[in-house]
């Protein structure tokens, strides 16, 4: 039975097309061994979250102060781009979970500044598994495929952009319905999104935290052995963290900054992403990192602030590369690396602010 919910957001802000599950905790080291041995896919397991350390939380608040105006401006520009490229209707489909807070903000901005009441759904997409086709079918009951706007916060290597394209091709083959595989992001570091505001690796504050900034929802889970054919992909809802939830704080704070910036911002029509020239040199750079650091698979290299943060929060990290040892944007990464005894190396010609390497486990 398909049931939707809104997490800790207001019911009219987002509809999570995810099944709420109770899952066993898989410790990070065991999870890494199971993933790398091929015994389990990462989407089948979850390391249950704990609340962030108070010192780490202070770095989040600092990141908000340093980046909130830039984020507010970029959200307005991205909203304008959505309006320009979707003249026949808009349904926001954020990719759980990094895309969810961005989708909530865009929904408000479209309503307040463009007088467009866009529905917002948050759905699962998983590398190697694909997008949740049951979620797509649910949205298609009330929206045309041309209205879909897939939203994420950033893209680092373009893996999700590529997965989105493959998944929607598969969906077209099985249903005959063609949904545009257009990914809309704030920051595209690799030239793989359809529409993006910037190619710069800057700190989007929501990447610093996990569930407590994403409606208390975990990353998505999918276990084909236990899922029913009609189910959405799954998640854990951390209702026990409600007193520490910052999801509402993040939305309200950024919307307040948008209100201050909007009157003085001249919005021009933003054409689709012009960062495609980044793709080839960055792929060559990543291949160079694989050789230099003897990395067996590209999946073990995570470029950009958002992806590097995820590694330190959710995976077993081997090494962090930083462009600048004192950059304000990487304070939280340095804190995490120190707390977990992860070595840090400064590489001044890094095309990103940070790159994280996943530790390769002995098979």
Handedness of CA 30, 37, 233, 16 (dihedral sign): positive
Of 219, 182, 188, 183, residue with least CA distance to 201: 188
CA distance 332 to 338: 10
From residue 184, give the alpha-carbon distance in Å to each of 91, 102, 162, 197, 272.
12, 10, 13, 9, 9
- How confident is the model at residue 271, as a pLDDT? 53
At residue 273 the predicted structure's pLDDT band, cuts being 50, 70 and 90, is low
- How confident is the model at residue 141, as a pLDDT? 97
CA distance 90 to 110: 10
Are the beta carbons of 32 and 359 closer than 8 angstroms? yes
At residue 270 the predicted structure's pLDDT band, cuts being 50, 70 and 90, is low
**Residue-averaged pLDDT of the chain:** 93
Are the beta carbons of 123 and 95 closer than 8 angstroms? yes
- How confident is the model at residue 363, as a pLDDT? 45
CA distance 91 to 141: 12
258: left (phi over 0), alpha (psi -120 to 50) or beta: alpha
Are the beta carbons of 265 and 197 closer than 8 angstroms? no
Residue 50 reports pLDDT greater than 90: yes
Q: Report, as an integer, the average pLDDT of 314-331.
A: 95
Q: What is the pTM of this model?
A: 0.94
- How confident is the model at residue 145, as a pLDDT? 98
pLDDT 10s digits, 86-116 = 999 999 999 999 999 999 999 999 999 999 9
User: What are the extents of the domains in the chain?
Assistant: 15-264, 276-358
pLDDT 10s digits, 160-213 = 999 999 999 999 999 999 999 999 999 999 889 999 999 999 999 999 999 999
Domain 276-358 has CATH 1.10.15.40: no
Q: Report, as an integer, the average pLDDT of 48-58.
A: 95
- How confident is the model at residue 55, as a pLDDT? 96
At residue 2 the predicted structure's pLDDT band, cuts being 50, 70 and 90, is low
């Amino acid at each position: 039975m398909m049931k939707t919910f809104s997490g800790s957001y207001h019911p009219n802000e987002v509809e999570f097309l995810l099944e709420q599950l109770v899952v066993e905790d898989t410790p990070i080291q065991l999870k890494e061994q199971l993933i790398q041995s091929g015994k389990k896919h990462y989407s089948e397991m979850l390391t249950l979250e704990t609340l962030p350390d108070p010192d780490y939380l202070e770095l989040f608040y600092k990141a908000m102060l340093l980046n909130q105006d830039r984020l507010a401006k970029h959200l307005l520009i991205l909203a304008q781009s959505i309006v320009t490229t979707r003249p026949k209707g808009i349904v926001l489909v954020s990719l759980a979970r990094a895309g969810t807070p961005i989708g909530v903000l865009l929904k408000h901005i479209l309503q307040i500044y463009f007088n467009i009441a866009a529905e917002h759904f948050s759905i699962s997409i998983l590398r190697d598994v694909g997008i949740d086709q049951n979620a797509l079918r649910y949205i298609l009951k009330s929206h045309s495929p041309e209205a879909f706007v897939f939203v994420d916060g950033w893209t680092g290597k373009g893996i999700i952009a590529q997965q989105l394209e493959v998944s929607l091709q598969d969906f077209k083959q099985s249903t005959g319905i063609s949904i545009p595989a257009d990914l809309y992001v704030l920051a595209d570091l690799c030239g793989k999104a359809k529409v993006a505001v910037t190619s710069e690796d800057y700190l989007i504050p929501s990447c610093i935290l996990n569930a407590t900034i994403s409606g208390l929802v975990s990353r998505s889970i999918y276990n084909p052995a236990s899922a029913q054919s009609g189910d959405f992909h799954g998640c854990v809802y951390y209702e026990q963290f409600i007193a520490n939830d910052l999801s509402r704080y993040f939305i309200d704070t950024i919307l307040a900054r948008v209100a201050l910036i909007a009157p003085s911002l001249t919005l021009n029509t933003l054409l689709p992403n012009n960062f495609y020239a980044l793709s080839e040199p960055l792929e060559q750079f990543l291949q160079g990192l694989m050789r230099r650091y003897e990395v067996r698979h590209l999946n073990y290299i995570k470029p950009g602030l958002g992806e590097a943060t995820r590694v330190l929060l959710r995976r077993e990290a081997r090494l962090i590369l930083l462009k600048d040892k004192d950059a304000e944007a990487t304070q939280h990464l340095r804190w995490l690396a120190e707390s977990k005894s992860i070595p840090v190396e400064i590489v001044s010609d890094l095309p990103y602010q940070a790159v994280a390497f996943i530790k390769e486990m002995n098979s």
